[in-house]
């Protein structure tokens, strides 16, 4: 680690094998982080409120507690060498408590900016990244004015705690704005202009404390019912658009003095690349990197936060990742028969409709003979 290491990760913080990585959150992302850490001889300790969380099956230790439970959080921090997280809706006070006890990576400031869509948009806009036109919404009058400004079309989003289309409403000229405003139940929101995008891609980028970066090639994503369905590389993208996305990714992680893996979702538009949102963590759209790249996003994140050299993000294969939602996971035996299909099951019991139960990544040779 060189002298320009981030203050959040002191210079000497190279974690040797046997060190303990604390992961806040016990879902499938935490599970795959724990597996990657184990491959490098590192231990993991999961903090989660759920006794049957997927990550618990593959980690070394767990603290079960609510994300607001300061006594439990302190006990957890005591037992780990560094803290990371696998989801972004961790209460700010809890992050502060953890950061006062142990190094936290990615940096808490990156988490804070990604937790609030208004702060996030202002941050990205300030960096010169194109974003959808946006208007803060705190009253019905704000909503009426913003909607008129956008020609009656837009997407209303709560500023905080939205995911998979939750806390989002499409607005059209005939929409009854009062009813939609009531649905917010007093939560602050933003109205975004409706973007007529050609496609959606994401870029996964890693940054080490010494400023080194590893950027994965853009991944093309398709959604159904607001939930990611497929991700694929190579993305159908011009070289110019790919370069724009990579430039923005590099700028974003540098501005945040970032350590770890960050995901950026883009809209591809006629006028170039536009950032939709950033996630300060490994990401569902990056799952294919685990099978199609020399160093996948999970190992990369562990390497970055542990102060190890970053791995090679290049893809050795083409890949299509498909999420297994709800009872689609019942097809596991068929999928297991498909030779080039890498099957990942998350160990969840209850296959509720739409729940992410696993994924399958189908690989094809990049340069067939
Ligand atoms: P988000 O939660 O911001 O990732 O939004 C979920 C999905 O809604 C995106 O992946 C897009 O497909 C769609 N979406 C979000 N914002 C907009 C927008 N401003 N214009 C058009 N579509 C959008």
The answer on pLDDT for 10 being more than 90 is no
Identify the pLDDT of residue 369: 54
Q: How confident is the model at residue 13 (pLDDT cuts 50, 70, 90)?
A: confident
In tens, the pLDDT along 325-344 reads: 999 999 999 999 998 999 99
In tens, the pLDDT along 14-34 reads: 999 999 999 999 999 999 999
Q: How far away, in angstroms, is 276 Cα from ligand 1 center?
A: 7
Identify the pLDDT of residue 69: 98
Percent of the chain with pLDDT over 90: 92
Cβ atoms of 28 and 5 closer than 8 Å:
no
Helix (H) or strand (E) holding 36: helix 28-39
Question: Six-digit token pair at 250?
Answer: 């590099």
Cβ atoms of 77 and 94 closer than 8 Å:
no
- Return the best residue to mutate from 276, 279, 285, 323 for the ligand 1 pocket (most ligand atoms within 8 A of CB): 276
The answer on pLDDT for 314 being more than 50 is yes
Give the number of residues written for the chain: 369
In tens, the pLDDT along 162-214 reads: 776 788 999 999 999 999 999 999 999 999 999 999 999 999 999 999 999 99
From atom 19 of ligand 1, which residue's Cα is the shortest distance away? 194
From atom 6 of ligand 1, which residue's Cα is the shortest distance away? 165
Q: Please tell me the distance from the alpha carbon of residue 297 to that of residue 299, in angstroms, as a whole number.
A: 6
In tens, the pLDDT along 73-121 reads: 999 999 999 999 999 989 999 999 999 999 999 999 999 999 999 999 9
- Return the best residue to mutate from 155, 156, 171 for the ligand 1 pocket (most ligand atoms within 8 A of CB): 155
Q: State the helix-helix crossing angle for 117-126 and 108-115, rounded to 10 degrees.
A: 110
Identify the pLDDT of residue 4: 44
- The pTM of the full predicted model, rounded to 2 decimals, is 0.94
Q: How far away, in angstroms, is 155 Cα from ligand 1 center?
A: 8
């Amino acid at each position: 680690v060189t002298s320009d290491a981030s203050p959040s990760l002191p210079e000497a913080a190279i974690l040797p094998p046997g060190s303990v990585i604390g992961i806040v959150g016990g879902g499938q992302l935490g599970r795959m982080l724990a597996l990657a850490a184990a491959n490098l001889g590192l231990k993991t300790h999961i903090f989660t409120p759920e006794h049957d969380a997927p990550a618990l099956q593959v980690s070394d230790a767990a603290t079960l507690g609510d994300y607001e439970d300061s006594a439990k959080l302190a006990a957890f921090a005591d037992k780990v060498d560094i803290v990371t997280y696998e989801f972004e809706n961790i209460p700010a006070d809890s992050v502060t408590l953890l950061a006062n006890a142990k190094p936290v990576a990615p940096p808490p400031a990156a988490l804070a900016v990604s937790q609030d869509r208004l702060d996030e948009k202002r941050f990205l806009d300030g960096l010169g990244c194109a974003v959808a036109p946006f208007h803060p919404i705190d009253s019905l009058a704000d909503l009426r004015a913003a909607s008129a400004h956008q020609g009656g079309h837009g997407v209303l989003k709560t500023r905080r705690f939205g995911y998979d289309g939750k806390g989002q409403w499409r607005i059209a000229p005939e929409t009854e704005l009062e009813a939609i405003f009531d649905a917010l139940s007093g939560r602050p929101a933003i109205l975004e202009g409706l973007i007529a995008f050609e496609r959606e891609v994401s870029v996964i980028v890693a940054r080490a404390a010494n400023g080194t970066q590893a950027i994965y090639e853009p991944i093309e994503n398709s959604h159904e019912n607001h939930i990611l369905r497929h991700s694929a590389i190579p993305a159908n993208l011009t070289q110019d658009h790919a370069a724009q996305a990579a430039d923005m990714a590099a700028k974003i992680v540098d501005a945040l003095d970032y350590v770890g893996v960050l995901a950026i979702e883009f809209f591809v538009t006629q006028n170039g690349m536009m950032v939709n949102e950033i996630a300060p963590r490994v990401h569902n759209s990056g799952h294919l990197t685990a099978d199609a790249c020399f160093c996948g996003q999970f190992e990369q994140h562990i390497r970055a936060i542990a102060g190890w050299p970053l791995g090679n993000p290049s893809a050795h294969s083409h890949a299509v990742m498909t999420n297994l939602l709800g009872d689609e996971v019942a097809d596991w035996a068929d999928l297991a028969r498909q030779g080039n299909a890498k099957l990942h099951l998350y160990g969840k019991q209850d296959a509720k409709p739409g729940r992410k139960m696993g994924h399958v990544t189908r690989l094809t040779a990049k340069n067939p003979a």
